[in-house]
A = this chain, B = another copy of it.
Amino acid sequence: MIRLTPRSTKFFEMFSDMANNLTEGARLLKAILEDMKDVPSRVEQLKTIEHRGDEMTHDILTRLNQTFITPFDREDIHKLASSLDDVLDFVHGAGERLVMYKITDLIPSAPQLADCIVRQSEQLRQAVAHLEKKNNVLQYCVEINRLENEADRIARSALGQLFETETNPIALIKKKEMYEVLETATDKAEDAANVIESVVVKSA
């Protein structure tokens, strides 16, 4: 019998699953930040998504360690899985802090930052989906980097605003950390895009 699906395409499927799961998590975080109702129960859902992501990452790394011929550099498979995992960790970390710090009011600019993460995740989905055939992948990477710059500007301006208006130091500490965690998620998405870019460039 002929194996129609060679083993190596499995990695592309697994990365697509990871990127889909990440997108689901990012959308949920954005929805929570836009409408701060039932935060604890919705963050529980986010935790379920994050756990699923952990398992997907673990499966990719296990398969990598057991596979002799890989569709692209081993080190890049490792880095891509880790950075996609990192984005979702910070997405979840943002939700977790809402619960831990009992934040109940809308945080200015936080939904916009989450929106950058959602759009990066969608671009990562596209990039990963086109990675096997390597057509037009770089455009998604460019857009992910642009979104990281956008998030950086939003976070910087939100932090400047926060330090000008928030006089309660403990409230300031909480919100400052929210901005930093959200901004770090966009950095990790950029890391993932950089790995994808280098995979494409190497094969050119």
Contacts and interface: CB of A to CB of B under 8 A. Distances in A.
A160 B65 contact: no
A202 B65 contact: yes
Contacts of A99: 160
Given A66-B204, A96-B156, A174 B163 contact: yes
Given A163-B170, A169-B170, A173-B173, A201 B100 contact: no
How many copies of this chain does one complex carry? 3
Contact of A198 (B65, B159, B169): B65
The size bracket of the interface on A is 20 to 34
Nearest to A156: B100
A134 B102 CA distance: 46
B201 A163 contact: no
Contacts of A61: 198
Contacts of A101: 160, 163
29 contacts: A61-B198, A62-B201, A65-B198, A65-B201, A65-B202, A66-B201, A66-B202, A66-B204, A75-B75, A96-B156, A99-B160, A100-B159, A100-B160, A100-B163, A101-B160, A101-B163, A102-B160, A102-B163, A102-B164, A163-B170, A163-B174, A167-B170, A169-B169, A169-B170, A169-B173, A170-B172, A172-B173, A173-B173, A173-B176
